[in-house]
């Protein structure tokens, strides 16, 4: 189980670092859709604020943030059940708060690309409670 986590996370890191290196040389590479969708899910699994983070950061999501891909037809809903509760996610959801290709969603999560956001205030609260280091 630990090896699988490390391998999965390394794919995400490699994809984002590859984008950074290529972008620095003037290229705009896209991550394969299926790989990027799995990376989005891995990000949501490992990088959302837990109860300790919420308390430390003093924040609350107050709403459902829905990420939706335009190419792989996947979506994820991030929510918080109470102001001091951890952030959780489930597969599915609509309407999208942020949508794009799976590659663009992954890169958006890491602040590498801009996407249209239907609720910028909700997105700002999400970003405050999600680790995008």
| CA–CA distances in Å: residue 121 to residues 23, 32, 72, 90, 101 | 28, 30, 27, 21, 22
For the whole prediction, is pTM greater than 0.85?
yes
Task: Say how far apart CA 33 and CA 37 lie, in whole Å.
Answer: 6
Helix (H), strand (E) at residue 66: strand 65-69
Per-residue model confidence as pLDDT tens digits over 32-67: 999 999 999 999 988 888 888 888 888 788 889 999
Residues 58-92 have pLDDT tens digits of 878 888 999 999 999 999 999 998 888 899 999 99
Give whole-number Cα distances, 106 to 1, 21, 71, 82, in Å. 23, 16, 13, 27
Contact by Cβ (8 Å): 112, 44 = no
pLDDT at position 111 over 60: yes
Looking at residues 6-24, what average pLDDT do you find?
A: 86
* Mean pLDDT computed over every residue of the chain: 89
**CA–CA gap between residue 20 and residue 101 (Å, rounded):** 18
């Amino acid at each position: 189980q630990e090896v699988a986590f490390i391998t999965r996370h390394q794919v995400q890191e490699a994809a984002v670092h590859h984008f950074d290196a290529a972008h620095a040389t003037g290229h705009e590479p896209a991550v394969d859709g299926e790989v990027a969708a799995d990376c989005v899910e891995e990000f949501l699994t490992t990088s959302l604020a837990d109860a300790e983070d919420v308390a430390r950061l003093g924040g609350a999501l107050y709403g459902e943030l829905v990420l939706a891909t335009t190419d792989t037809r996947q979506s994820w809903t991030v929510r918080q059940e109470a102001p001091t509760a951890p952030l959780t996610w489930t597969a599915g959801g609509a309407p999208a708060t942020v949508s794009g290709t799976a590659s663009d969603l992954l890169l958006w999560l890491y602040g590498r690309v801009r996407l249209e956001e239907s609720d910028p205030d909700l997105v700002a609260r999400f970003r405050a409670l999600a680790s995008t280091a």
